[in-house]
Amino acid sequence: MPIHDQGYRHYAGQRARHGRAWWVIARAGVLERLRERRFLALLLFAWSPFVVRAVQAYLASTFPQASFLAPDVQTFRAFLDQQRVFVFFVTIYAGSGLIANDLRANALQLYLSRPITRVEYIAGKLLTLLIFLVAVTWLPAVLLVVLQVMFTGDTVFVTSHPYLIPAITLACALQVCVAACAMLAVSSLSRSRRFVAMLYAGIVLFTAAMDQALRLITGSRAWAWVSPQDTLAVLIDATFGMSTEPAVPVLVAVVLVAALIAVSIAVLARRVRAVEVVA
Amino acid sequence: MERVSVSYGRHAALRDVTAEFPPGAVGLLGPNGAGKSTLIKTLLGLLPPGSGRMRVLGHDVRDAPLAIRARVGYMPESDAHIPGMNAVTFVGYCGELSGLPRADAMQRAHEVLFYVGLGEARYRNVETYSTGMKQRIKLAQALVHDPDLLFLDEPTNGMDPKGRDEMLALVRDIATNKGINLILSSHLLPDVEFACEHVVVIDKGAVATQGPIAALKGTTGRVFELRVKEGGEAGGARFADLLRAEGIECHGDDSEVMRVFVPESRGSQLLFQLAARHGVQVRHLRPSVPTLEDVFARAVGEKDGGA
């Protein structure tokens, strides 16, 4: 008699209640990506500005001659601006295949024939990307604040800038949500991960180039609304209380960003289906 | 299912379908494009019906699709897998998605992969699998959470004869020895006849006939294989028309051998009498047994064409 029969047996254990599949999907997505060395290298490289800023904070707090390097709110705003390029690459690397690969492998019908709603599926995929984007934006920014407190040995910096951490959190939330929603929507448009990557990069780079060209031609900064990145920058500036005149009114930027997210959700609602109906 | 209709745009895929799937193995039989896959997807709640009511495992499909999907397994017709995973990770992941705890899902993934015959290949990436192996792993992912009901959509598609036999043996074992109800969708009559006790024949989006296979086969009276000499006053095709005119059911095939259904009360003499009356030579007459093919041919109306 075998010690353990490797045949089919009925399952007598407990089953989880509906509604936790989004976490299963996100966890699997994160673990799959972390198995790739190239992606790990990209994540590590994305932390290089953090190292530079940490050294800057250390020098400023340790050597009086370097006090001109002391970080302020502007430093953190500039840090998040530097991270934009890593947000771009991480979004493309980790996000382009999230739905496109499932479409290529006909996996949607496997997901949605289980006790999973489309919202849970999208939430799981979105969370996968959000985790990586937060890891290269919010996490290093907040760690910088913590390091600043540790290097100076007091909490004066935090108490004198009480809105800094909320501003970092809001700015990062805007940055990662827009990038993740847009990428997920683009990823649902094709079965090819490479095509999705090129399409997303094309949209981001083309709109930025359009913005720059129109600015040069017209001499007006008002064309920032053409580029989602520059529109987002207006909102992030406002979040950090930057005193510079915004390229477009903040309210307009809010509407544009909300519209971009709404369009992304609409695309996902249309494309994420177990059955592709061609009427 | 009661009067269920499903449309893709203006194309009606299911028209007023009323069917009952009793416990055990039920075959869903029909030609390509008949609406079998649409029916399964509708029962899973993946396609909303335009009208009608459906209940699966006691739940209304409109009201409780998640409760239904937690208790059913679905093996789709087309190749489907989660990219980038090996077999055991893939099947375990599917178990987790169906609500199993992670450790239990992995343990069951190993067991189910052995059961479907992929035990030795369970650490290989699914994308490297052959067509037959992909069919098996689709069955494994449908079984991993121990469903009460399995939907198998063309499970033997693309398999070689040996693999096909093994798959059908698995399907029959699941239904008979493991106590799992299943609906086997196929256009292959022998597959359904081998694995199922009941059949629902569907054609052009409507149910053509349904019931226990034995009962459906038993209603056909006595069956003969008949071949007559071509030419003369009445050729084979024409003789078939003459038989039909006499109220005798007759199906032809490519080999010119007709299957003739003579009422129980009348024997082969009737055929000889008719042949003699119309000057046709009977070259081959052999008693046969009713098959599912006869049921299918009658149900989908091939008899009208006589070919």
User: Final residue of a domain: which of B195, B212, B229?
Assistant: B212
What's the pLDDT score for residue A6? 64
Count of other CB atoms within 10 angstroms of residue B277:
11
* SS3 state at B183: strand
Higher-pLDDT residue of B217 and A197 is: A197
Query: Looking at beta carbons, which residues of chain A come within 8 Å of B41?
Result: 274-275
What's the pLDDT score for residue B303? 39
Q: Does B219 score more than 70 pLDDT?
A: no
Q: Where are the domains of chain A?
A: 21-271
What's the pLDDT score for residue B243? 82
pLDDT tens string A77-101:
999 999 999 999 999 999 999 999 9
pLDDT tens string B204-213:
899 988 999 8
User: Final residue of a domain: which of B212, B247, B262?
Assistant: B212
The single-letter code of the amino acid at B152 is L
Residue B306: pLDDT band with limits 50, 70, 90: very low
The arithmetic mean of pLDDT across residues A141-158, rounded, is: 93
Q: Does B118 score more than 90 pLDDT?
A: yes
CB contact under 8 A, A114 and B70: yes
Could you tell me the CATH number of the domain that includes residue B249?
Answer: 3.30.70.100
Q: Does A103 score more than 90 pLDDT?
A: yes
- Minimum Cα–Cα distance from B42: chain A residue: A275
Lowest average pLDDT, out of A92-106, A147-161, B5-19, B277-291, goes to: B277-291
Residue B196 lies in a domain: yes
Among candidates A9, A115, A275 on the partner chain, residue whose Cβ is nearest the Cβ of B66: A115
- Minimum Cα–Cα distance from A12: chain B residue: B146
What's the pLDDT score for residue B9? 83
pTM of the complete model: 0.87
Residue A148: pLDDT band with limits 50, 70, 90: very high
The token pair at A273 is 């289906």
CB contact under 8 A, B79 and A110: no
Query: Looking at beta carbons, which residues of chain B come within 8 Å of A116?
Result: 66, 69, 97
Which residues, 6+ apart, have CB-to-CB distance to B140 below 8 Å? B87, B91, B109, B112, B113, B115, B116, B118
pLDDT tens string B181-193:
999 999 888 899 9
The token pair at A120 is 């849970």
What's the pLDDT score for residue A90? 98
CB contact under 8 A, B145 and A9: no
CB contact under 8 A, B66 and A106: no
Q: Does B150 score more than 90 pLDDT?
A: yes
Among candidates A8, A17, A112 on the partner chain, residue whose Cβ is nearest the Cβ of B46: A112
Could you tell me the CATH number of the domain that includes residue B23?
Answer: 3.40.50.300
Q: Does B221 score more than 70 pLDDT?
A: no
DSSP per-residue letters across B253-282: -TTSPEEEEE-TT--THHHHHHHHHTT--E
Query: Looking at beta carbons, which residues of chain B come within 8 Å of A32?
Result: 84-85
CB contact under 8 A, B96 and A111: no
Residue B306 lies in a domain: no
The arithmetic mean of pLDDT across residues A219-229, rounded, is: 88
What's the pLDDT score for residue A219? 86
Higher-pLDDT residue of B202 and A17 is: B202
For residues B138 and B177, state if they share a domain: yes
Higher-pLDDT residue of B294 and B153 is: B153
Among candidates B69, B108, B114 on the partner chain, residue whose Cβ is nearest the Cβ of A11: B108
User: Final residue of a domain: which of B158, B192, B212?
Assistant: B212
For residues B169 and B272, state if they share a domain: no
CB contact under 8 A, B178 and A10: yes
CB contact under 8 A, A11 and B100: yes
| CA gap B255, B235 in Å, rounded | 14
What's the pLDDT score for residue A122? 97
Instruction: Name the most confidently modeled range: A63-67, A81-85, A245-249.
Output: A81-85
- Minimum Cα–Cα distance from A18: chain B residue: B99
The single-letter code of the amino acid at B159 is M
For residues B158 and B231, state if they share a domain: no
pLDDT tens string B89-107:
999 999 999 999 999 999 9
For residues B151 and B272, state if they share a domain: no
What's the pLDDT score for residue B282? 86
For residues B158 and B255, state if they share a domain: no
For residues B68 and B47, state if they share a domain: yes
What's the pLDDT score for residue B304? 46
What's the pLDDT score for residue A223? 86
pLDDT tens string A192-221:
999 999 999 999 999 999 999 999 999 888
Residue A3: pLDDT band with limits 50, 70, 90: low
Residue B47 lies in a domain: yes
The arithmetic mean of pLDDT across residues B103-117, rounded, is: 95
Percent of chain A at pLDDT exceeding 90: 78
For residues B119 and B190, state if they share a domain: yes
How many domains would you assign to chain B? Answer: 2
Among candidates B83, B98, B111 on the partner chain, residue whose Cβ is nearest the Cβ of A105: B83
Closest-CA distance, B44 to chain A, in angstroms, reads 7
CB contact under 8 A, B80 and A106: yes
Residue B298 lies in a domain: no
What's the pLDDT score for residue B199? 93
Among candidates B70, B82, B111 on the partner chain, residue whose Cβ is nearest the Cβ of A7: B111
CB contact under 8 A, A279 and B119: no
What's the pLDDT score for residue B280? 83
What's the pLDDT score for residue A5? 59
The whole domain housing B155 covers: 2-212
What's chain B's average pLDDT? Answer: 88
Q: What is the CA radius of gyration of chain A?
A: 22
Rounded to 5 degrees, φ, ψ at B30 are: 175, 160
The arithmetic mean of pLDDT across residues B115-122, rounded, is: 93
For residues B186 and B279, state if they share a domain: no
| CA gap B119, A15 in Å, rounded | 25
- Minimum Cα–Cα distance from A27: chain B residue: B93
Closest-CA distance, B134 to chain A, in angstroms, reads 12
What's the pLDDT score for residue B305? 44
Best A5, A8, A10, A119 member to test B by mutation, with max B CBs in 10 Å, is: A8
What's the pLDDT score for residue B254? 54
Among candidates A7, A113, A278 on the partner chain, residue whose Cβ is nearest the Cβ of B69: A113
Residue B295 lies in a domain: no
Q: Does B1 score more than 50 pLDDT?
A: yes
Interface of A with B (CB under 8 A): 6-11, 13-18, 21, 24-25, 28, 32, 97, 101-102, 104-107, 109-117, 274-275, 277-279
CB contact under 8 A, B99 and A113: no
CB contact under 8 A, A110 and B100: no
For residues B72 and B142, state if they share a domain: yes
For residues B178 and B114, state if they share a domain: yes
Q: Does B232 score more than 80 pLDDT?
A: no
Query: Looking at beta carbons, which residues of chain B come within 8 Å of A7?
Result: 111, 114-115
CB contact under 8 A, B99 and A274: no
The single-letter code of the amino acid at A275 is V
Best B81, B96, B138 member to test A by mutation, with max A CBs in 10 Å, is: B96
* Alpha-carbon torsion, ordered B8, B206, B15, B72, to 10 deg: -70
Alpha helices, DSSP H only, in B196-256?
213-218, 236-245
* SS3 state at B72: strand
Count of other CB atoms within 10 angstroms of residue A225:
18
What's the pLDDT score for residue B296? 77
- Minimum Cα–Cα distance from B134: chain A residue: A105
| CA gap A253, B282 in Å, rounded | 88
Closest-CA distance, B188 to chain A, in angstroms, reads 24
Lowest average pLDDT, out of A15-19, B33-37, B169-173, goes to: A15-19
Parallel, antiparallel, or unpaired: how do β-strands B72-75 and B149-153 relate? parallel
CB contact under 8 A, B82 and A102: yes
Among candidates B11, B46, B96 on the partner chain, residue whose Cβ is nearest the Cβ of A113: B46
Q: Does A68 score more than 50 pLDDT?
A: yes
Residue B8: pLDDT band with limits 50, 70, 90: confident
Residue B59 near residue B44, CB atoms below 8 Å: no
- Minimum Cα–Cα distance from B139: chain A residue: A110
